Amino acid sequence: MTPDEFRRAGHALIEWIAAYRERLSDGDMPVQAQVRPGDLIARLPSAAPEQPEPFDDILRDLDTLIAPAATHWQHPRFFGFFPSVAPLSSVLGDMLSTGLGQIGLSWQASPALTELEQVTTDWLRDLLGLPATFSGVIQDTASAATFIALVCARERASGYGAARGGLQAETAPLVVYTSGQAHSSVEKAALLAGFGRMNVREVRVDDTFAMRSDALEALVAEDRAAGRRPCAIVATLGTTATTAMDPVAVIAPIARRENLWLHVDGAMAGTALMLPELRHYGLGLEAADSIVVNPHKWMGIAFDCSLYLVRDPEHLVRVMSTNPSFLQSAADAEVRSYRDWGVALGRRFRALKIWITLREQGADAIRARLRRDLSNAQWLAAQVDATANWRRLAPVPLQTVCVRHAPPGLEGEALDVHTRRWAQAINASGAAYLTPATIDGGWMVRVSIGAELTQREHVEALWRTMRAAAAASEGL
C-alpha cells in the first residue's frame, strides 16, 4: 500500500469507524453479537489470500462479516464486565502509534516513546492524587503488572534469589495473601511467579466483601508459627464482582510491620481516585510498594493501557534487567530503559493515546463523566431498593450494581436458574448486555455502568428491560 493508497483507504476506514460509532449512539444495534460459535469461522476462507484484494472488498466484509460477530462494548446499553471506554481521540492515538511504527527497545530506539511515557505516566499519577515518590510504566494489562509485582516481591524477600537457585533453593515457602474477592489474575500471577497454589492464602472478607485486616493478621501469624515466610499482600481497590474496597489504610501498616510487599490492584476502580471526593478510598496507598490502575477501563484510554506504579524503580530494574550488549547505548546512564521495567523487550508507543486523549478531553471532562456514571449507579440502586422482590447484594461505592430478583418461594438452585435465565434472555435479545456472576455461592447479575455513551435514559431503559425479563422468566 503506497502512502497515497493509504490516504484513500484510511479515509474510508476512518469514515467507517465514525459511522459505526454513530450507529452505536442511535442505539438500534443489538449489544451482544447475534451469532453462534463457529459462525464466523464458517464464513471465512480457510487459507490466506495469495493475490491482493481491493480494499473496498475488505470494508464490505467488515460490514457483513466482522461487525455482526462483534459484541459492542462501546454501545450505550453495554453494562457487562467493566466499562472499557475508548474515546475516538484515543483511537487516533492508537492509530498514530502504529503509523509511526516505532518499537521502544531502548531510549535511543525512540527517545519520544520513552520520554512521552515518562511524562504521561507522571500526569496520570498526579491526576490520581498519588505522591511523586511513585514512578510509572505502561504495561499491557493489570495481569502483567500484578505478575511483575509478585516477582519483585519474591526477589525482595529472597534477597535476589533468582540470581542463585531461585525459589527452589529457598528453605521455607514464601506466602502471598489476597482476598477471595481478588481477581483471578492475582492467583495466576502467584502461580506463574512460582509461589505455588498452596502458598496463596485467601483472606476472609467482611459483609461489604472487603478484606478483613484481622483475618489477614491471623493468617500471617499462623504462617510464621508454621515456619513459612509471609512475602506479599495483594489488596484490591474495587473488586471485580462488586467493586469492594479493601482497607489499604489498615493493611499498609500491617505490610510495613511484617515487612511484606504491598501491591494494590486498582485495575478498575483506581480511576475513581481522579475524583477528590473519592480519594478517601486511596488512603494508605502512599505506603504501597506497587499499584496498578487500568486507564483502559473506566478512565477512557483505549485498550491496552495499564499503568504500573512503583515506589522503588531501582529494585524493579534490578529484577527485570538483562542488558545485552546490542541494546546498550551511551545515553543509558541518563535515561529510562523501559525494557527493564517489565517482561517485554519491545514496547508500543502507548503513551501517544494517553497524551492525545488527555489533551483533547481535559481531565475535567473525564471527571464529569465519572460523576455521571456514579449518579446513574445510585439511581439504579435506589430503584432496586425500592422495588418488591428485588435485592441489592452489595454496597455501591462506584458504578457497579449487583442485583438479584428473588420472588417469594424461589430459593437455591431454582433461584439460580431464574437469575441466569432472565439475564441471558436480555443478553440474547440484544437489548442490553449484563454479566451474571456468583457471589456467596449464588448467582446474581452485575450491572456495570460507564460506557461513554451511557446516559440516564439508557439506565432507565435497562431497568424496564430487567423487570420485564425477570417477570417473563418467573412466569415460565
Ligand X SMILES: Cc1ncc(COP(=O)(O)O)c(C=O)c1O
Point out which residues bind ligand X (CB under 6 A): 82, 141-143, 183, 185, 236, 238, 240, 265, 267-268, 294, 306
| Closer by beta carbon to ligand X, 235 or else 250 | 235
| Closer by beta carbon to ligand X, 135 or else 143 | 143
Cell numbers for 53, please give them. Answer: 484484494
Q: Which long-range contacts (CB under 8 A, 24 or more apart) does 16-21 make?
A: 16/59, 16/62, 17/88, 17/91, 18/88, 20/67, 21/74, 21/88
Amino acid identity for residue 133 in this structure: T
Query: From the CB of 187, what's the least distance to ligand X, in Å?
Result: 11
| Closer by beta carbon to ligand X, 87 or else 238 | 238
Question: How far is Cα 239 from Cα 181, in angstroms, rounded to an integer?
Answer: 6
Query: From the CB of 245, what's the least distance to ligand X, in Å?
Result: 11
- Name every residue whose Cβ is closer than 8 Å to that of residue 390 and which is 6 or more positions away in sequence: 383, 384, 403, 404, 405, 406
| Closer by beta carbon to ligand X, 189 or else 403 | 189
Query: From the CB of 168, what's the least distance to ligand X, in Å?
Result: 28
| Closer by beta carbon to ligand X, 30 or else 83 | 83
Query: From the CB of 147, what's the least distance to ligand X, in Å?
Result: 9
Sheet holding 400-405, edge to edge: 390-392, 400-405, 442-448, 435-439
Question: How far is Cα 57 from Cα 66, in angstroms, rounded to an integer?
Answer: 13
| Closer by beta carbon to ligand X, 295 or else 430 | 295
Query: From the CB of 159, what's the least distance to ligand X, in Å?
Result: 29
| Closer by beta carbon to ligand X, 187 or else 223 | 187
Sheet holding 290-293, edge to edge: 135-139, 306-310, 290-293, 261-265, 229-236, 174-179, 200-203
Question: How far is Cα 298 from Cα 334, in angstroms, rounded to an integer?
Answer: 35
Question: How far is Cα 404 from Cα 445, in angstroms, rounded to an integer?
Answer: 6
| Closer by beta carbon to ligand X, 401 or else 431 | 401
Query: From the CB of 301, what's the least distance to ligand X, in Å?
Result: 12
At residue 13, φ and ψ (nearest 5 deg) are -70, -40
3-state helix, strand, coil split of the chain in percent (to 5) is 50, 15, 35
Query: From the CB of 268, what's the least distance to ligand X, in Å?
Result: 4
Query: From the CB of 377, what's the least distance to ligand X, in Å?
Result: 16
